[in-house]
Structure 1
Amino acid sequence: MTDTPAPRVLLAPNPGRRLSEVLRDLQEGEGARVSVGDLVAGLRDRSFAPLMVIFAAPNVFLFIPGSSAFTGVPLMVLAIQLLLGRSDVWLPRLIADRAIERASFARLVRAALPTVERIERLARPRWWPGSYQLAERIIGLCTFVLAGLLSLPIPFANAGPALAIVMLALGLSERDGYWLVAGLAASAAAIALAAGMAIASIAAFVALVLS
């Protein structure tokens, strides 16, 4: 009788390099431009959490107008793969070929690193609720919903969902259940705020039409 091989789990009990170290390596790469495909190739098996931070960060740290329209869809693609339990990232060519100036990417990483490092000083592998596979799917589901909110044209409502994604990514990277719970709480707050703003906008529009 042969043993059934154990399923491969994305979240190993012991994390590898810290997320800030991975981001620094990407920042210091060669070439005038950096594409999303280059990032995935450089990250190898550490792709999900750093890419979540990279795509969410412009909406939190730099406040680039219109950035959510370009970052929401890649985040949704990553979220679907977490939901499906993939162990590595696959991106369609339309997303993988997107590139920015390396100087702009380095500026984004420099803006995000202080916050990432502050969280890392408080984060460590601990108290992971349930199985790692279940956690992957919960993070994937929350990220999908939050990325959908990022794609909506709701004024001043992008920072909350993006920050929640960063917190979930840190929980994912550091295997820290406390940060996972904090990210879930931030996700719930961001969803509630966005829903409230949407309802208020609809009510104001209806009142304007009926007046």
Structure 2
Amino acid sequence: MQFEPGDRRRRLPRHLRSPTPDVDTFSFSIRPVRAGDLPDIREIYNHYVANSVVTFDEKRSTHRLWREKFAMLSKLALPFLVAVSASGQVIGYALVQPWASKSAYRYTVEDSIYLGPGAGGKGLGSALLDALIVACERRGLREIVAVISDSSAEASIRLHERAGFVEVGRMGRVGFKFGRSLGTIYLQKSLTPQMRRRLFRSGRG
């Protein structure tokens, strides 16, 4: 999980590499994702796959994978948000997905936040995470977990701690990428659900 941009922009499409306005003119809006946003989201994520250890994925994600994720999160009515610039360009996204498949975990989710190049350090990460937390509480969720790499993700840890997440555990050497072992840090935040309903179930049980 990561919200700061990398430093190798040449892998991204030109419109995602465009210079970002100065801080005093930087503006954005946050809204629910649309199907048309998925290509830009895929390119932002794949930038981190290819150039960082903030995600443990080693293969670039496909359009099909993102279409399936979009459909799955839509079916579960789980928050999936994008940040767009004044010109309508997707410059970041945030989502939650089920923490685990067993039904007893149905009120717990894991978050994921990524920003595009030039979008870090301007309050966008905090705005996305705050909006995501509010959306989760409105959805009736109770716990949100962040799983963060123990290497090169200090900014992401600080972001979550500012939002009220607390570290609840670590695992060492569970990943291996770019020729080195990596661990994970687990942070958790308890939410205040604004509604009660059964989640992630189909049929009668």
TM-score by length of 1: 0.27
Structure with the higher strand share, 1 or 2: 2
Higher relative contact order (CA 8 A, sep 6+): 1
Query: TM-score normalised to the size of structure 2?
Result: 0.28
